[in-house]
Amino acid sequence: MTTSPAAASLPLSTVALVTLGCARNEVDSEELAGRLELGGFRLVDDAADADTVVVNTCGFVEAAKKDSVDTLLEAADLKTSGSTQAVVAVGCLAERYGKDLATSLPEADAVLGFDDYPDIADRLRSILDGEQHHPHTPQDRRRLLPISPSARDAGTVVVPGHTIAAPDLPADATPESGPRAVRRRLDGGPMAPLKLASGCDRRCSFCAIPTFRGSFVSRRPSDVLGEARWLGGQGVKELFLVSENSTSYGKDLGDLRLLETLLPELAAVDGIERVRVSYLQPAETRPGLVSAIAGTPGVAPYYDLSFQHASAAVLRRMRRFGDPDSFLALLDQVRQQAPTAGVRSNVIVGFPGETEDDFQTLCDFVEAARMDVVGVFGYSDEDGTEAETYDGKHDEDEIRERTEHLTRLVEELTAQRAAERVGETVEVLVESVEDGEVVGRAALQGPEVDGCTTLVGSDARVGDLVTAVVVDTEGVDLVAREA
């Protein structure tokens, strides 16, 4: 990667990026890394070795916000014990709270919003020079683009992760749409997240993400494919397609079925062995998309379905749609076409007004659904959301009790589901080999949150795609032997 001529004449500073939260944040961090390297910064892995520590924060739920603040405070401690001169907050928490975060967390030297990303190198240099950066005043980013999806132009606003292109483009290359930046991989593993879109047009009453991530904007297929080709050239074997709502991909480009046509093209990219789609909205998951995921060679039969609940009454209060019958029918449709498909979901327990019958409906649905992984979250108020104003809220003890009950049930059910897979043939992407232990993920397992597969008696290397037979399980984790 070549540093820009202007940056080459400036003193070299070191920077470490610490990424919290979801895979979408990982893409954003790699965009920032590319911009910083082009801007004359040297990237280091260890925050203790960096002049500047940039923490890409998560602002989704209370636990994630606390983790972000704790990480910023830990980085600030390095200013007295290490070589660190500045600590900078970026990401969702910084965008969501702006000047309020800066006021409440003086240990951070600056709080930067998404609009600062294109000039991140200049921002960090000014901070290191002692200049005071005035944090932004948060705004509802949905208002930055037209209400009509067809009228949106992502080039008119800063959308993290959308302006990425391969670093071997000549400096005078003309982009097909909007400005371009460089992505610099921070993780050399065989899997890489790839953004399909950003933002969300749904108005779920418990979720604040659209207010700070903005309205839904699809990336153009040519940009997605261009980045996929670069990732394939970097040794990536699995593309993990991420967004806030992948089922909406293409609606602002005039073709709601665009993902179905894009998947075969991504799977055909040189070097790519597997493509995985994340975050599907059940109410928007159309039969054609189910078939494309189930039947396209090279696409993992994997369905990340965000059910959130099963009671129709609770879902209506959540501003969502569905009920046990429609959800189970969707799962039947999936399994008719891909009997061994992996299915995961998240659910919220203790939502305002959730009755004991509602909770039992959720428990019964989880039992009937036979999913591989279910994330269980207790409800908590989120600033500025509709649900924050609802009555019928449960006390913390009741939410904790229901959460623990469903978590125990889920642990039992998902362990049973894993055990049912003994004897199945799986394709395992090897991600680590340590002390002779070969560990990876089968097609039914998404990155980080869905468990792993250990290959016994294998001499496979990182990046290999191994055909194996499941011989044992440990909770949701699988143990397999090469076929």
452 is in an annotated binding site: no
What CATH number should be reported for the domain holding residue 382?
3.30.750.200
Tell me the per-residue pLDDT of 320-370, one tens digit each, with 9 for 90 and over.
Answer: 999 999 999 999 999 999 999 999 999 999 999 999 999 999 999 999 999
444 pLDDT exceeds 90? yes
Q: Are residues 414 and 428 in the same domain?
A: no
User: With bands split at pLDDT 50, 70 and 90, how would you rate the model's confidence at 4?
Assistant: low
> Does residue 89 fall inside a structural domain?
yes
Q: Are residues 114 and 58 in the same domain?
A: yes
Side by side, which strands form the sheet with 191-195? 191-195, 238-242, 274-277
Domains in the chain, number: 3
User: Does residue 204 contact residue 244 with C-beta atoms inside 8 Å?
Assistant: no
Please say which residue of 400, 420, 440 terminates a domain. 420
Q: Are residues 366 and 473 in the same domain?
A: no
> Whole-angstrom Cα distance, residue 452 to residue 190?
15
Q: Are residues 458 and 411 in the same domain?
A: no
Task: Please give the residue range of the domain that contains residue 389.
Answer: 329-337+344-420
> Does residue 19 fall inside a structural domain?
yes
> Whole-angstrom Cα distance, residue 299 to residue 9?
46
With a CB cutoff of 8 Å and minimum separation 6, the contacts of 51 are 13, 14, 15, 83, 84, 85, 86, 128
| pLDDT value of residue 82 | 75
Which position has the higher pLDDT, 12 or 148?
A: 148
| pLDDT value of residue 65 | 87
User: Does residue 205 contact residue 384 with C-beta atoms inside 8 Å?
Assistant: no
| DSSP reduced 3-state for 423 | coil
Please name the residue ranges forming H helices in 9-61: 23-38
Helix (H) or strand (E) holding 478: strand 477-482
| pLDDT value of residue 171 | 39
Q: Are residues 376 and 473 in the same domain?
A: no
Task: Record the tokens describing residue 42, joined without a space.
Answer: 């040297």
Task: Record the tokens describing residue 204, joined without a space.
Answer: 């779920």
> Does residue 385 fall inside a structural domain?
yes
| pLDDT value of residue 10 | 52
> 302-322 burial, b if ≥16 CB within 10 A, otherwise e?
bbbbbbbbbbbebbebbebeb
Tell me the per-residue pLDDT of 203-232, one tens digit each, with 9 for 90 and over.
Answer: 999 999 999 999 999 999 999 999 999 999
Average pLDDT over residues 375-391: 96
Closest CA to 245 of 223, 272, 268, 213: 213
Tell me the per-residue pLDDT of 224-281, one tens digit each, with 9 for 90 and over.
Answer: 999 999 999 999 999 999 999 999 999 999 999 999 999 999 999 999 999 999 999 9
Residue at 109: amino acid letter: D
Residue 86's DSSP bridge partners are 52
92 is in an annotated binding site: yes
Please say which residue of 379, 405, 420 terminates a domain. 420
Q: Are residues 434 and 382 in the same domain?
A: no
Q: Are residues 352 and 433 in the same domain?
A: no
> Does residue 253 fall inside a structural domain?
no
Task: Record the tokens describing residue 153, joined without a space.
Answer: 């132009």
Weakest-pLDDT range from 58-72, 79-93, 212-226, 347-361:
58-72
User: Does residue 191 contact residue 431 with C-beta atoms inside 8 Å?
Assistant: yes
> Does residue 312 fall inside a structural domain?
no
What's the DSSP call for residue 123? Answer: H
Q: Are residues 117 and 32 in the same domain?
A: yes
* pLDDT mean across residues, the chain: 92
With a CB cutoff of 8 Å and minimum separation 6, the contacts of 241 are 193, 194, 195, 196, 266, 275, 276, 277, 278
What CATH number should be reported for the domain holding residue 435?
2.40.50.140
Average pLDDT over residues 407-420: 98
> Whole-angstrom Cα distance, residue 160 to residue 213?
9
Q: Are residues 437 and 355 in the same domain?
A: no
Q: Are residues 125 and 68 in the same domain?
A: yes
Residue 466's DSSP bridge partners are 428
> Does residue 67 fall inside a structural domain?
yes
> Does residue 38 fall inside a structural domain?
yes
Closest CA to 371 of 410, 422, 330, 325: 410
| pLDDT value of residue 155 | 80
Between β-strands 477-482 and 465-474, what pairing exists: parallel, antiparallel or unpaired? Answer: antiparallel
Q: Are residues 19 and 133 in the same domain?
A: yes
Q: Which residue has the tokens 């200013």?
A: 79
Between β-strands 425-434 and 302-304, what pairing exists: parallel, antiparallel or unpaired? Answer: unpaired
| pLDDT value of residue 165 | 59
User: Does residue 430 contact residue 377 with C-beta atoms inside 8 Å?
Assistant: no
Tell me the CA distances in angstroms from 227 to 169, 184, 260, 265, one per residue in order: 12, 11, 18, 12
> Does residue 51 fall inside a structural domain?
yes
Task: Record the tokens describing residue 296, joined without a space.
Answer: 């396209």
By percentage, how much of the chain surpasses pLDDT 70?
Answer: 94
Weakest-pLDDT range from 44-48, 61-65, 126-130, 290-294:
61-65
Q: Are residues 51 and 100 in the same domain?
A: yes
Residue 437's DSSP bridge partners are 434
Tell me the per-residue pLDDT of 145-203, one tens digit each, with 9 for 90 and over.
Answer: 888 888 888 788 999 988 775 544 443 433 344 444 478 999 889 999 999 999 999 99
Tell me the CA distances in angstroms from 430 to 278, 468, 479, one per residue in order: 20, 12, 13
| pLDDT value of residue 83 | 84
> Whole-angstrom Cα distance, residue 451 to residue 474?
10
204 is in an annotated binding site: yes
Please say which residue of 391, 420, 449 terminates a domain. 420
22 is in an annotated binding site: yes
User: With bands split at pLDDT 50, 70 and 90, how would you rate the model's confidence at 416?
Assistant: very high
Q: How many CB atoms lie within 10 A of CB 264?
A: 15
What CATH number should be reported for the domain holding residue 86?
3.40.50.12160
